[in-house]
């Protein structure tokens, strides 16, 4: 598909998701609370969108990933939260 | 349209889902062993679950004319208790000659802990000793990249393991290349919120050729869509892919991988 066809297919959906992200950040601004590593990671990942280099999806996912390589001593939870807490502090 | 659902936890689904899948063209469903949403309290809980996967659920699927296959293991979410895992793994060979068993899965990692890694190695050894196919679950969200690397290291370190007989599931843009470059198959899981959307799955197919990729719904007891594969077929069509390409991706590809297990048979003429 050419760029025009892809825009016809996905532009409105992507526009809607972009506004959702903007509204989400506004909503957080209006609320009180301490700093949170998820928001920091989110803002760092957002920077990847502004680069014109390819593989933005890969870079966003990598920015939100645990960068370490050693197994952790023990699993204390089963859940993942979508950002690496190790970056906090 | 015909398709194979290579990853669905049907014990958590209602009969309406079976009906909708068959109406949409599902020709076979494959069910990896999974976490129940709570920890099973003893090996006996797993014994019953393996009976459910190999006896009861195939009968339920058969009511809709749908062949049902399964994979066996103790899943990574219950792998922190190594002694429980050892007992469950010791029980699996008794089930391997059941006629709907495809191999060992979905094994892998969840939080990338030392014990999870130990249990993964035990499963890989079990698969190697019994010449079984392997289905691997890669961790969620922030744990996926690290977990995928650790899993691939374990598989590559065992000379008995052939990568073309292992499918690494839940790949995304940051892990798909690692998997395919290693000679493994990759699975893309179509979830509404986490993992992968249909549009992104089509992106990866277009970039990597779709030779060793399949798509699945991984529908279970959580937020998931049992008809995700037919929806992805529609996405492929919107993106201009031919009916032949769609058939290759959603039917021929899973059939090619799964047919490495002699138990896997689909009835449709090719
Ligand atoms: Zn699963």
Determine if the peptide bond prior to B73 is cis (ω within 30°). no
Q: In the CATH hierarchy, which top-level class contains the domain B3-258?
A: alpha beta
Where does residue B103 rank: exposed (0-12), middle (13-18), buried (19+ CB within 10 A)?
A: buried
Per-residue pLDDT in tens (0 to 9) along chain B, 270 residues: 999 999 999 999 999 999 999 999 999 999 999 999 999 999 999 999 999 999 999 999 999 999 999 999 999 999 999 999 999 999 999 999 999 999 999 999 999 999 999 999 999 999 999 999 999 999 999 999 999 999 999 999 999 999 999 999 999 999 999 999 999 999 999 987 777 999 999 999 999 999 999 999 999 999 899 999 999 999 999 999 999 999 999 999 999 999 999 999 986 655
| 0.90 surpassed by complex ipTM | yes
Contact check, Cβ <8 Å, B173/A58: yes
How much is the pLDDT for B269? 52
What's the CA gap between B49 and B9, in Å, rounded?
A: 12
Q: Chain A: nearest CA to B167, how far in angstroms?
A: 21
What's the CA gap between B88 and B39, in Å, rounded?
A: 13
Q: Chain B: nearest CA to A30, how far in angstroms?
A: 25
3-class DSSP assignment, residue A83: coil
> Looking at beta carbons, which residues of chain A come within 8 Å of B110?
75, 78
> Looking at beta carbons, which residues of chain B come within 8 Å of A87?
none
> Looking at beta carbons, which residues of chain A come within 8 Å of B198?
none
Domain boundaries, chain A: 1-54
Contact check, Cβ <8 Å, B142/A65: yes
What's the CA gap between B214 and B208, in Å, rounded?
A: 12
Measured in residues, chain B has a length of: 270
0.90 exceeded by the pTM? yes
Contact check, Cβ <8 Å, B174/A65: yes
Q: Flag residues of chain A having pLDDT under 50.
A: 89
Q: Write out residues 42-81 of A within 8 Å (CB-CB) of B.
A: 55, 57-58, 61-62, 64-69, 71-81
């Amino acid at each position: 598909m050419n760029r025009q066809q892809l825009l016809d297919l996905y532009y409105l959906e992507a526009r809607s998701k972009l506004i959702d992200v903007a509204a989400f950040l506004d909503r957080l601004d209006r609320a009180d609370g301490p700093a949170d590593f998820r928001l920091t990671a989110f803002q760092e990942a957002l920077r990847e969108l502004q680069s014109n280099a390819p593989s933005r999806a890969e870079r966003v996912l990598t920015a939100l990933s645990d960068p370490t390589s050693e197994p952790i001593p023990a699993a204390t939870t089963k859940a993942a939260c979508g950002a690496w807490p190790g970056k906090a502090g | 349209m015909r398709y194979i659902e290579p990853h669905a936890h049907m014990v958590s689904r209602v009969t309406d889902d079976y009906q909708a899948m068959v109406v949409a063209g599902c020709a076979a469903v494959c069910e990896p062993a999974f976490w129940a949403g709570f920890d099973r309290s003893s090996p006996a809980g797993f014994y019953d679950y393996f009976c459910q996967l190999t006896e009861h659920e195939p009968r339920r699927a058969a009511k809709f004319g749908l062949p049902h296959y399964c994979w066996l293991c103790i899943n990574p979410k219950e792998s922190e208790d190594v002694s429980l895992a050892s007992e469950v793994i010791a029980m699996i060979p008794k089930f391997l000659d059941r006629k709907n068993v495809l191999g060992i899965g979905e094994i892998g990692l969840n939080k990338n802990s030392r014990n999870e890694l130990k249990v993964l190695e035990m499963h890989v050894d079990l698969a190697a000793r019994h010449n079984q196919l392997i289905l691997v679950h890669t961790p969620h969200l922030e744990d996926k990249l690290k977990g995928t690397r650790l899993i691939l290291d374990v598989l590559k370190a065992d000379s008995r393991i052939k990568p073309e007989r292992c499918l690494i599931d839940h790949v995304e843009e940051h892990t798909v290349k690692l998997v395919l470059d290693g000679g493994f198959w990759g699975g893309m899981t179509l979830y509404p919120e986490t993992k992968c959307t249909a549009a992104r799955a089509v992106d990866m197919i277009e970039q990597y050729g779709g030779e060793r990729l399949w798509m699945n719904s991984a529908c279970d007891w959580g937020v998931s869509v049992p008809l995700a594969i037919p929806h992805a077929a529609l996405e492929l069509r919107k993106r201009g892919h031919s009916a032949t390409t769609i058939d290759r991706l959603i039917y021929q590809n899973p059939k090619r991988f799964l047919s490495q297990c002699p138990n896997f048979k689909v009835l449709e003429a090719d």
